[in-house]
Amino acid sequence: MRLSLSTIFVVLLIVLCNRNITQGARIKKNISHYPIHISADSISTWQNNEIRVFQAGGNAEIEQGEARIIADNVIIWFKEIKTGQLVEGNIEIYCSGNVTLFQEENIQDFKETYLELVTTAGISVKPILARNQVKSFEDEQRSELYVQAEKFRAKENGEPYKDETATGTTEAGELVDILADDIDTWLENDVRVIVAVGNVRIKKGEETLNADNVILYFDQEKSEQDKPAKQVYKEVYAEGNVTLRRKDDLIVAEKIFENIKEEKGLFVNSTISSVLKPPTVRIQKPVFMSGEEIKNTKGNYEINNGDFSLCGFGHPHYRFKYSKLRIIKTGEKSVLTAKNNVFKIGKVPILYFPYLNFNLKRSPKRLQEWNTGKTTRFGRFFTTDWDLYGFGFGEKLSEWSDLTLSADFLELRGPAAGLDFQYKKPNYYGYANTYYINDDEELDINDVPVDSKNRGHFLWRHRQKLLNNWVADIEISHVGDRSYFREYFQPEFKIQKDRTTLLYLKNISGNRGTTFLAEHQLRTYDTLVDSVRLSRKNESFPELKYRIIGEPFRDGRLNFTSETELVYQNRVFDRITPLKAETNFLGRGEWLTAERVFDRSPARLDPEETVRFDTFNMLNAPFGFMGQRFNPFIGFRLTGYSESVKVNPVTLSNEGSGSPRGRVAIPIGFNTSTTLSRTYSVYNKLLNINRLRHIMVPELMFNFMPIVTQDPEDLNQFDGIDALDTYQSVKFGLRNRLQTKRGEPGKRKR
């Protein structure tokens, strides 16, 4: 049985004479040999001198043998009593609000009642919902219900009531949550000892400790007069797969001992992973430090004869071996110093550094990066990136942003410069990027003429979190000319998406989503298409969509998916038209190389404009049979256009806008798959393979669209929706995957 302070606080065997009393009723039978079970929607607990107090609210229930009590709210006092070698205890319970006592055939109702129960089989305290946890406080929580229970208890015992809140309410202690397979607790000379065994998880503030076994010590400190003793978290010992998360640090160790009051500790066979923070919005890199023993003093660490590395692999490719390492944390700095460092690649020593010192948190660098070389198109070049905040500019801005200046010189092109501004705050983030060059060349790659010497680009991308789960994406982009990116930014040209100007709003909740797109281009050409070709730019101004994905109904036997949109589509064509291509004969068998001459004013074709309404709805009925997964589906698509293509019956050419049209399309199909697997006993230390599992997934898909009521050639073509036509296809696929487990024994993961 799984026991925890969050689910079952304590189990005690008690040998005591049977005594069960309730106001207005008595327990008829001796049921002390039965355990007592206490449950409720929410439960909190604290220690009051030698008495453990529980407060339970919402559907509270107490059960022992054939007796059962239900109530709205419950206060429970549990006291330990030692008689000889036996541990005895007395459980006092106050119930209020719709109290009902069930005992065999007798049912009694009370507004409030008080009873004392005894058990020789133990007690359990747990919330009704598994996701709820028992809240544990170090100080007494004098709620209105608790004060009322104290008064009623004193009256029933014939004692005068002493108001504990006469000098003011006590402050709540720091919450310490404990979760484990088994928990035991006792008092030793005014020290509360808690032993947690199996899958232990301790949470205190921002710190989380996970281990196989943990022992916690709490001091019972005396408080002011007429106030209960205060429990103070004193020490903790943990062993077995210990993981401690503390702010930016992650400590993994075999054993940990910490004195919480003095903020000192010792970690055995441990590794510390701290965060190396470059400029604010760039990727953070962890630094790993390990050693046989790590001493912790108020968050500062000292390690002897260990190593550290910035490599994130379990077996780092490179590392520094040192004799002594210290991490000193002061304010905004976290300084690492290491002596007698040997830099190793794998196990091979490469360099020796007598002393290393750097800040794990942000340490501004003025010159971030530089590069030099020579190319046929640029000649000799020299590029630099400068961190402007490193010069003392914008100290407050540097907390949430980075500003980088690019200063370059290209021998055949001239000087160039740009700014890169990246920022991040809780509700928004983004970046702006600019670059400018005064180009001395007349032709770019592919002999495309340069329209102007002033060339460059501007890009701003921003994401903003709005109210009610709305998110706004904004992009504003302008590129000086059609061949600029192909010439100066080859990686962006080949990999990144086209630059555009748009506003995109989305609201996604569960399997439903609403989006709004307003897109308008500041140019007519596509920078990711060969610049001498005909290029076209689509605009959606605006586009409104609503989606439902996999909505189950009829007890999950059917799933419904839908997408509905209303969009104004616009397309602008643009191209450079070659005027002539000449080859001149010079005589004596010599020919002049052909030269292409381009018209610098692009040829503009008439734009296409269409308002389109489209709704697609699909039903699928997934099921399994004899280990095989099947998913048949049928869909219905209705599309309406404000304009279509008008064709001259004589010349068969497009003459502009045609009449409005509607279209119906019905797709039908199914897909089926199964999963086959087999495990092989293959081991390889070099490749870190610990057995291999081969997973094979054969798939068969059949798609059929027998009905499409409009020929796509009669419709303006903007995307795949407009190109739909009747078709049928059969696809067969076979996916293969190999899996292995890696890591130390007992910690292996796929």
Mean pLDDT of 608-630: 90
Q: How crowded is the C-beta side of 640, counted as CA atoms within 13 Å? A: 6
Q: CA 709, 711, 712: angle at the middle one, nearest 5? A: 120
- Listed in order, strand segments (DSSP E) in 141-222 are 176-179, 182-188, 191-204, 207-221
- pLDDT at 419 (0 to 100): 93
249-263, 265-279, 313-327, 553-567: least confidently modelled range: 265-279
Highest mean pLDDT among 137-146, 239-248, 645-654: 239-248
Q: Is pLDDT larger for residue 243 or for residue 334?
A: 243
Q: How far apart are CA 112 and CA 99, in angstroms?
A: 6
CA dihedral 114, 119, 123, 129 (to 10 degrees): -60
CA Rg, the chain, in Å?
A: 37
Judge whether 422 and 401 are in contact, CB under 8 Å.
yes
Average pLDDT over residues 160-180: 54
Domain ranges of the chain: 21-165, 247-359
Asked if residue 59 has pLDDT above 60, the reply is yes
Angstrom distance (rounded) from CA 651 to CA 106: 99
Q: Which residues contact 436 (CB under 8 A, 6 or more apart)?
A: 416, 417, 418, 454, 455, 456
Coil/strand/helix, residue 58? strand
Q: Measure Cα distances from 682 to 198, 315, 677, 690, 739 in Å.
A: 32, 21, 15, 6, 11
Contacts of 459 (CB under 8 A, 6+ apart): 432, 433, 434, 475, 476, 477, 499
What is the per-residue pLDDT for 101? 83
- What integer pLDDT is reported at residue 152 of this predicted model? 86
DSSP letter for each residue of 6-46: TT-------------EETTEE--S--TTS-EEEEESEEEEE
- Of the two residues 640 and 88, the one the predictor is more confident about is 640
Q: Is the pLDDT of residue 587 over 50?
A: no
- What pLDDT is stored for residue 18 in this prediction? 34
How high does pLDDT run on average in the chain? 77
The CATH number, out of the four listed (3.30.465.10, 2.130.10.10, 2.60.450.10, 3.30.70.330), of the domain defined by the range 247-359: 2.60.450.10
Q: Look at residue 616 in the predicted model and tell me its pLDDT.
A: 96
**Could you tell me the sign of the dihedral formed by the alpha carbons of 154, 155, 156, 158, in that order?**
positive
- With CA atoms as reference, report the closest residue to 44 among 209, 150, 165, 173: 173
Count of positions (residues) in the chain: 750
Taking residues 129-155, report their average pLDDT: 78
| pLDDT band at residue 134 using 50, 70 and 90 as cut-offs | confident
Confidence at residue 667, expressed as pLDDT on a 0 to 100 scale: 94
> What is the distance between the alpha carbons of residues 110 and 74, in angstroms, rounded to a whole number?
13
Helices and strands in the chain: count of H runs, count of E runs: 3, 47
Most confident of the ranges 81-85, 215-219, 220-224, 355-359: 215-219
Q: How far is CA 187 from the centre of its chain?
A: 42
Residue 636 confidence (pLDDT) above 90: yes
Average pLDDT, integer, range 5-33: 44
- The closest of 293, 202, 288, 278 to 249, measured between CA atoms, is 288
Kindly report which listed range (48-62, 520-534, 698-712, 728-742) carries the lowest average pLDDT score: 520-534
DSSP state of 533: S
Q: Is 305 left (phi over 0), alpha (psi -120 to 50) or beta?
A: left
DSSP annotation of 715: S
Region of residue 685 (phi > 0: left; psi between -120 and 50: alpha; otherwise: beta): alpha
* Highest mean predicted confidence (pLDDT) among 245-259, 309-323, 356-370: 245-259
Q: How confident is the model at residue 21 (pLDDT cuts 50, 70, 90)?
A: very low
Q: Is the pLDDT of residue 334 over 80?
A: no
For the segment 650-672, the average pLDDT, to the nearest whole number, is 79
If pLDDT is split at 50, 70 and 90, which confidence band does 466 have? very high
Top-confidence residue, 684 or 594: 684
Residue 565 and residue 570: Cα distance in Å, rounded?
A: 15
> Residue 2: pLDDT band by 50, 70, 90 thresholds?
very low
